[in-house]
Amino acid sequence: MAKITRKPVPRKGAVPKKTAKAALAKPNAPAKKPLRATKRWTPAEVHEAFSRFRKANPEPKGELEHVNPFTLLVAVVLSAQATDAGVNKATRALFEVADTPQKMLDLGEERLRDYIKTIGLYRTKAKNVIALSAKLLSEFGGKVPRTRAEIESLPGAGRKTANVVLNMAFGEHTMAVDTHVFRVGNRTGLAPGKTPLEVELGLEKVIPAEFMLHAHHWLILHGRYTCLARKPRCEVCLINDLCRWPEKTV
Ligand code: SF4
């Protein structure tokens, strides 16, 4: 009797060997480019970049509205995972009635919630703002403290909050790393890092002291309006000749 040979039936969903091999060896597939720049900037190049930022915008301002260090602190605490525009919309009315820790306590958590209910995580944030107002009154004479450790000890305030307050309210040379600064630090190669802290320390190391007061705002504004997350506007970028990003479009 003739021997019957059967073709093997592929398992449902299995990728035929030939196709799988071809996919791995795709000769025309674009090679994956590294996401981070590798070549370090020279001190002269860093100086040149920040000179250009300074020339274009000598007095950059943050976009979180506030009227004193306390309202700045509250605005930063409210801005976690929210946009500055969204926070400003809520705080304009809030700061008219509560621009000091005492007035914030007098307003109370429930009414505060009403003012900020358009901001994400508003329940937790309202709790924190009331608790930090109480702590400012009981431990700091109703004033925003001037050291990092003291600011970080306040409910809802972390390292980024302390850096923003120390820089904007007290003129210290701190570098708050938000999503924009993190992206710009990595893409440009100015200060590559896997965490905001790594990028913060890297930027502090390479940026000359003469630029540090405004460096935080220059980098935020650069990330927000030019070095956009999805489609950076490299063609109008002030530092496109210096930027190390392998995917820059100029
Ligand atoms: S050249 Fe492009 S990627 Fe580099 S900093 Fe400018 S906008 Fe960002």
Question: What is the arithmetic mean of pLDDT over 116-121?
Answer: 96
For ligand 1, mutation pick of 41, 220, 239 (most atoms within 8 Å of CB): 239
pLDDT of residue 146: 97
pLDDT of residue 6: 44
Q: Ligand 1: which atom is nearest the Cα of residue 240?
A: 1
- The domain 43-60+174-236 is placed in CATH, from the list 1.10.1670.10, 3.20.20.150, 3.40.50.2300, 3.20.20.10, at 1.10.1670.10
Residue 25 has pLDDT above 90, yes or no: no
Residue 1 has pLDDT above 70, yes or no: no
Q: Which of 33, 178, 194, 248 is catalytic?
A: 178
User: Which CATH topology does 69-168 take?
Assistant: Endonuclease III; domain 1 (1.10.340)
Taking alpha carbons only, the member of 180, 243, 227, 172 closest to residue 204 is 172
For ligand 1, mutation pick of 188, 218, 230, 241 (most atoms within 8 Å of CB): 188
Residue 21 has pLDDT above 80, yes or no: no
Question: What is the arithmetic mean of pLDDT over 182-191?
Answer: 97
Residues of the chain with CATH 1.10.1670.10: 43-60+174-236
Mean pLDDT (the chain, rounded):
88
Question: What is the arithmetic mean of pLDDT over 126-130?
Answer: 98
Residues of the chain with CATH 1.10.340.30: 69-168
Three-state DSSP at 129 gives helix
**Residue 39 annotated as catalytic:** no
Q: Which of 84, 125, 160, 248 is catalytic?
A: 160
> Ligand 1 center to residue 52 CA distance, Å?
14
Q: Which two tokens stand for residue 152?
A: 């970080």
pLDDT of residue 39: 78
> Ligand 1 center to residue 162 CA distance, Å?
28
Question: What is the arithmetic mean of pLDDT over 111-138?
Answer: 98
Which amino acids bring their CB within 6 angstroms of ligand 1? 187-188, 226-227, 232-234, 237, 239-240, 243, 245, 248
> Ligand 1 center to residue 179 CA distance, Å?
15
Q: Tell me how far apart the alpha carbons of residues 224 and 139 are, in angstroms, rounded to a whole number.
A: 37
Three-state DSSP at 35 gives coil
**Residue 160 annotated as catalytic:** yes
pLDDT of residue 159: 97
Contact 177, 196 (CB under 8 A): yes
- The string of pLDDT tens digits covering residues 55-111 is 999 999 989 999 999 999 999 999 998 999 999 999 999 999 999 999 999 999 999
pLDDT of residue 38: 62
Residue 11 has pLDDT above 80, yes or no: no
Q: Is the pTM of this model over 0.85?
A: no
The band of 19, judged by pLDDT with boundaries at 50, 70 and 90, is very low
